[in-house]
Structure 1
Amino acid sequence: MSKSPKNKQRLHVFAAYRGRGKQNNDLYLVYSVKTNRDWILPSGRQFVHWLNFLELNRSVRSFDLAPELRISFDDKEYRGTEFDAEVEYVDGHQEFHEVKSDSTKLHEARGQLLAQASEAQREGIKYRLFTDDDLIPHVKTSIRWLKPLGFAAALRDQDHAVLQGRLLIVLKARTQGTLDQILQDFFGHDIPTVIGLFIRCAIQGVIAIDLSHRSFNYETQWKWLEEF
């Protein structure tokens, strides 16, 4: 009997907990606007990678953070391996992503990384390895994104097509400004809904919002992005 999506998600949750072992890793349950589903991320590094290189990357069309196990060959034997992410870009090309912390972990995972590189080469797909050098510069900004992500998650499975259409018209006309200015334009509407749609636009790559120096608030700066 095939597993329902909810049952599969429960299994991913259990696997994430078991995978933590005795490590003091955080466990993140996140909602992705881009894939319209929840994901379990077993560490802070995985969260930073997901947010900055997948969810907020306007070049990425979709991704899978729970890919199927593959059988591949390292330099000694066949072994099962799975990537941290399988990524599809808007231009059609694909990538396999793996997240590791530092040189020590890279050495310990040598067999796994060799097997993954071999599988990527066999499938003709680019293989990318992310370490702390890639992730640390994004940590502070990622923490500031937790609040706005909550507004977007609150609108899951809600369309609001008419309101979002109006919001897009206003954003394109203004080209840049603050969140407060947008809320003034939508006086009388439900504020959390407008903010959620505003964040949805940012995740979809319609606008860019600046959280590089301060937390998300009414004075958060945004700007309209040109289409690809």
Structure 2
Amino acid sequence: MRRHLRPGIALPPPPDPHTAQMLAELLAEHATLHGWSASTLGKARSGLHAVLGLQDTPGARIKASLLRDLGPLNRATGQLREFLGGLDLLDDDLTPALQNWFTGKVADLPAPMRAELRVWFDVMFYGHKTNAPRSRARTQSTIRARLNTVLPTLHAWAAAGHESLREITRTLVLDAIRAADEGHPRYLLGSCLRSIFSTLKGTRSSSATPPRASSSAHRTPAFPNPPNSTSSARPSTPPNPPARLSPHCWRSMP
């Protein structure tokens, strides 16, 4: 049964303080290893304390549905899922058909690209409230539409030998957008690619800079200035052509 939790509600303490302390220490180590901010760690620690107190069966794996119910309390549930899953302490009782659909759709892409897309998918599916860019969860139809839109481009990049989205430059993104049909298809592809790269950059999973989608479906979503689709078919040249971003760059992003 779904718990209707709200900010300010009093939650029971964990029944086993020793286990709670041990997990809190492991959580702190995990946070340091993955570069969490102090704020994110604080929220995740509070969330861990909450789920241990709310468990129907103390000592059992923590149900994903319980983490879902913590969502309104802003307890870094996405990070907690990652942490608990790594310790084999997560009982994923929520895996919906959309998860299986996504896994099947990206199955033939290179493993690094699949992992990066999984980060994007999780942000789209669960939302992202602890670090910028903050994002609300999207509907299943939106997630399906966005992935279906970009899959041909992703497959083309993979076929060209690109294993990871970290290898994708602005030039490659712009070329893909300009190759799409003019009008709405071109705008839609640019918007969907921006969704992926903005999310990955915000979560430090990619160094590629997203294209800016134009406010009009009749303009090519590009950067720094979207070329008008009514102008020459020859792509305009940005004033400062982007250099390839080496893999080490994304790790050092602020």
Q: TM-score scaled to structure 2, two decimals?
A: 0.29
Q: Which has the higher contact order (CA 8 A, sep 6+)?
A: 1
Q: TM-score scaled to structure 1, two decimals?
A: 0.32
Instruction: Name the larger-Rg structure.
Output: 2
Give the structure with the larger helix fraction.
2
Give the structure with the larger strand fraction.
1
